C-alpha cells in the first residue's frame, strides 16, 4: 500500500534540513520496516511519475523546481504581504506574495498563483529567486467574521478578531440590528478589502458587549459556525429512544433477561465503578476487575450509544455533522442531545445502562493472555473522582472523603478492586516500557474562573496515578478492538504517531547538551526514555520533557 508512505515522503523531503538521498537511505531515516521497503520504493516511483518529486542520475530523491503556476493555501501577514504554501511542495518552499499581488486573498483561501522569477532577489541574506502573484481565489476559507464595532471618523467599522482578516470592514445599516459601539458582532462580507479601499459587510447578529467572557465565548462559537441547540425533531428522536429503553428496563421486572435483551450479557450484579474528573457531566467508561490465579480479568465497559442512535438516522447524520462534542470555558456543545449524552448513555452510579464491553485476561507480568467482547447491561456500583480513588488506594479514607462527589461510603470490595486496578496498571506500564513506550510527565493546566467567567488562576491538573490507570485500561481495550478488526479484515482508522521531523532529534540533542546531558547520534525510543528518566524529580524535568515533546511533534 504505497499510498500510506506518500505523505511521509513529501513531508520528509520538504523539510529545510533535507539533503538529497537515495530511496534506501530515506527508508532507513524514516525507519521503514524491511517488509515494507518494496511498497516504500513503489510510493517514491509513483510520486516521481506524477511529477511531484524527482529522481536524479544518482538515484537521489529531490523536490521538483517551481513550475509556471502554483496552487496552495494563502497566509496573510498583518503588514499586507503573504505567503502561499503549495499543495504539492517544491524545492523552493513557500512563495512570497507582495501586498499589491494578493488579489484580496485572505488567510486560509485556496489560491492559484503565477510564479515570478527574480534571480537577484534575496530574503534575510539568502537568495530567493521566486515570488508569486495571485491570479485567482479558488476557494474562500471563510466569509463570515466576528469583531468589535467602533465608530471612526463618522463611519461604522468592524475590527475583526483573529488574524485571518486584518483590515477593518465597513458596515452601514447599524441600526437594523440595534448595534451600538463596543458590541461584538458577527458580519458577512459583501465586498473584500482591496488596495486603498475597505471591505464592506453586513451585521448578521449582535453578540453582546465585547470583552465580556460569555460574549467572547459566543464569538468563538459563531466564528467556527459551531452548532448549539438541537431542533425539535432530533430531540423527539432522542426522547423516543430513551423511553423505549426505560420500557425495556420495566419489562425486566416481569420477563426473563434473555427475552428483553436477547444479545446481551447481564452484568448488573458485577462490581463495576467509574473514575472521572470531579466536574465530569457524562460518564462514558467504567471498569471491573477480578483476580484469576496470579493474573487478572479486566472489564472495560463503554456506553453503547449505537443502541440509541440508528445508522443514517437524523441523529446519526447530525452527530456526523458535528463530528465531536466541543468543550469551551464553562460550556459544552454536545455531539448528541443531553437526554442521551448525560442521560441514558451516561454510566451513572446505581442505574442500569447498556455497554459495549471488552474483557481482557492478563498474566502476572501484565501480558494479555485472552480477550472477549460483548454487549452488556451493567449497573455501576460507585462513582469516584481521580483524587478520591487515589486516596483510597493509598489507604487514606479521610482524604478520599474530601474529594467525593457522591456519598463517601467505601466498601472493602471497592478498596480491594482499586488496589487490583493499581497493581495491574503498573504491570501494564512496565510491559509497555519494555516495548519502548515513552512517558512524558506534562500535566495539563486547569483554568479557574470567577462567577463572571473571567480567568482568575491557573494550576496544574492533579497528577494522581489513577489518571494513568484509566488511560492504560482504555488503550488496552482500544488495542484489543483494533486487533479484532484486523483479524476480521475490517478496515479501521489507526492512530499512528509519525516519526520525528528531520533535524528535530539533532536539535533536541543540542538542547540537552547545554544542560550537561547527552543523546546518541541516532537515538531510539529507549534512549529518549532513558533521557527522561535521568531528569526525573530535578529542576530540569519539565524543560526536558517539553523539549522531547516538541522533537516528537510533526
Q: Mapped to the 3 state alphabet, what secondary structure does 195-230 carry?
A: CCECEEEEEEEEEEECCCHHHHHHHHHHHCCCCCCC
Does any domain span residue 338? no
Q: Which of 194, 224, 254 is the last residue of a domain?
A: 224
The span from the CA of 307 to the CA of 238, in Å, is 11
Same domain, 387 and 531: no
- Looking up cell 513557500 gives 94
- Using CA atoms in the order 126, 129, 135, 139, what is the torsion angle rounded to 10 degrees? -50
pLDDT at position 442: 86
Range of the domain at 9: 2-62
CA gap 359, 357 in Å, rounded: 7
Placement of cell 467602533 in the chain: 150
Check which CATH number belongs to the domain holding 173 and give it: 2.40.50.700
pLDDT number for residue 6? 86
Residue ranges, the chain, pLDDT below 50: none
**Confidence at residue 197, expressed as pLDDT on a 0 to 100 scale:** 82
Same domain assignment for residues 410 and 274: yes
Same domain flag for 76 and 166: no
Q: Are residues 432 and 384 in the same domain?
A: yes
Q: Does residue 417 share a domain with residue 276?
A: yes
Residues in the chain: 554
One-character DSSP codes across 305-338: GGGTS-TTSHHHHHHHHH-S-EEETTEEE-SS-H
Residues 275 and 293 in one domain: yes
Residue 116 and residue 37 share a domain: no
What phi and psi values does residue 133 have, to the nearest 5 degrees? -125, 120
Q: Which triple of cell numbers denotes residue 68?
A: 509556471
Residues 378 and 416 in one domain: yes
Q: Are residues 429 and 515 in the same domain?
A: no
Instruction: Please check whether residues 99 and 24 belong to one and the same domain.
Output: no
Q: How many domains does the chain have?
A: 5
Closest CA to 413 of 432, 387, 394, 392: 392
Compute the distance between CA of residue 507 and CA of residue 501 in angstroms, rounded to an integer: 11
Judgement on whether residues 296 and 403 belong to the same structural domain of the protein:
yes
Counting beta carbons within 10 angstroms of the beta carbon of residue 159, is it exposed (0 to 12), middle (13 to 18) or buried (19 or more)? middle
Residue 403: CB atoms within 10 A of its CB come to 19
Q: Tell me the C-alpha distance between 432 and 453, whole Å.
A: 41
CATH code, domain carrying 131:
2.40.50.140
In a domain, residue 239? The reply is no
Grid coordinates standing for 546? 517539553
In a domain, 246, yes or no: no
User: Grid coordinates representing 378?
Assistant: 451493567
pLDDT value at position 195? 65
Same domain, 98 and 148: no
Amino acid at each position: 500500500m504505497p499510498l500510506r508512505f506518500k505523505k511521509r515522503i513529501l513531508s520528509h523531503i520538504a523539510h529545510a534540513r533535507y539533503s538529497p538521498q537515495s530511496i534506501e537511505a530515506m527508508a532507513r531515516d524514516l525507519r521503514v520496516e524491511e517488509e515494507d521497503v518494496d511498497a516504500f520504493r513503489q510510493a517514491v516511483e509513483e510520486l516521481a511519475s506524477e511529477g511531484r518529486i524527482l529522481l536524479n542520475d544518482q538515484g537521489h530523491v529531490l523536490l521538483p523546481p517551481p513550475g509556471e503556476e502554483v496552487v496552495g493555501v494563502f497566509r496573510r501577514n498583518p503588514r499586507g504581504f503573504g505567503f502561499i504554501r503549495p499543495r504539492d511542495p517544491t524545492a523552493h518552499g513557500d512563495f512570497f506574495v507582495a501586498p499589491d499581488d494578493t488579489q484580496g486573498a485572505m488567510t486560509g483561501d485556496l489560491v492559484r498563483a503565477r510564479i515570478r522569477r527574480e534571480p537577484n532577489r534575496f530574503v534575510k541574506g539568502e537568495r530567493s529567486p521566486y515570488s508569486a502573484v495571485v491570479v485567482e481565489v479558488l476557494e474562500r476559507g471563510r466569509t463570515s467574521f466576528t469583531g468589535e464595532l467602533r465608530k471612526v471618523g463618522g463611519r461604522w467599522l468592524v475590527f475583526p478578531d483573529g488574524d485571518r482578516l486584518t483590515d477593518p470592514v465597513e458596515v452601514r445599516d447599524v441600526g437594523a440590528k440595534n448595534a451600538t459601539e463596543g458590541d461584538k458582532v458577527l458580519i458577512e462580507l459583501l465586498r473584500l478589502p482591496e488596495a486603498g479601499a475597505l471591505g464592506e459587510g453586513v451585521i448578521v447578529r449582535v453578540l453582546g458587549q465585547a470583552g465580556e467572557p460569555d460574549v467572547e465565548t459566543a464569538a468563538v462559537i459563531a466564528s467556527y459556525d459551531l452548532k448549539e441547540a438541537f431542533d425539535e425533531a432530533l430531540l423527539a428522536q432522542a426522547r423516543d429512544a430513551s423511553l423505549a429503553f426505560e420500557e425495556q428496563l420495566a419489562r425486566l421486572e416481569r420477563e426473563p433477561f434473555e427475552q428483553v435483551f436477547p444479545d446481551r450479557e447481564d452484568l448488573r450484579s458485577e462490581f463495576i465503578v467509574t473514575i472521572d474528573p470531579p466536574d465530569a457531566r457524562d460518564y462514558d467508561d467504567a471498569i471491573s476487575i477480578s483476580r484469576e490465579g496470579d493474573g487478572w480479568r479486566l472489564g472495560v465497559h463503554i456506553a453503547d450509544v449505537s443502541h440509541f442512535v440508528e445508522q443514517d438516522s437524523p441523529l446519526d447524520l447530525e452527530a456526523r455533522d458535528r463530528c465531536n462534542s466541543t468543550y469551551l470555558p464553562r460550556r459544552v456543545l454536545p455531539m448528541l442531545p443531553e437526554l442521551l449524552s448525560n442521560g441514558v448513555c451516561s454510566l451513572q452510579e446505581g442505574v442500569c445502562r447498556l455497554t459495549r464491553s471488552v474483557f481482557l485476561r492478563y498474566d502476572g507480568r501484565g501480558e494479555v493472555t485472552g480477550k472477549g467482547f460483548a454487549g452488556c447491561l451493567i449497573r455501576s456500583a460507585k462513582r469516584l473522582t481521580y483524587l478520591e480513588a487515589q486516596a483510597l488506594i493509598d489507604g487514606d479514607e479521610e482524604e478520599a472523603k474530601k474529594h467525593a462527589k457522591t456519598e463517601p461510603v467505601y466498601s472493602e470490595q471497592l478498596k480491594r478492586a482499586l488496589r487490583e486496578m493499581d497493581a495491574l496498571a503498573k504491570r501494564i506500564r512496565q510491559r509497555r516500557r519494555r516495548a519502548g513506550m515513552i512517558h512524558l510527565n506534562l500535566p495539563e493546566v486547569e483554568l479557574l474562573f470567577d462567577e463572571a467567567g473571567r480567568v482568575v488562576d491557573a494550576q496544574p491538573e492533579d497528577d494522581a496515578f489513577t489518571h494513568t490507570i484509566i488511560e492504560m485500561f482504555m488503550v488496552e481495550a482500544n488495542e484489543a478492538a483494533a486487533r479484532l478488526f484486523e483479524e476480521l479484515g475490517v478496515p479501521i482508522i489507526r492512530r499512528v504517531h509519525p516519526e520525528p521531523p528531520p533535524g528535530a532529534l539533532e536539535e533536541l540533542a543540542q538542547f540537552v547538551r547545554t544542560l550537561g546531558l547527552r543523546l546518541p547520534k541516532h537515538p531510539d525510543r529507549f534512549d529518549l526514555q532513558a533521557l527522561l528518566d535521568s531528569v526525573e524529580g530535578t529542576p530540569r524535568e519539565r524543560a526536558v520533557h517539553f523539549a522531547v515533546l516538541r522533537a516528537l511533534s510533526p
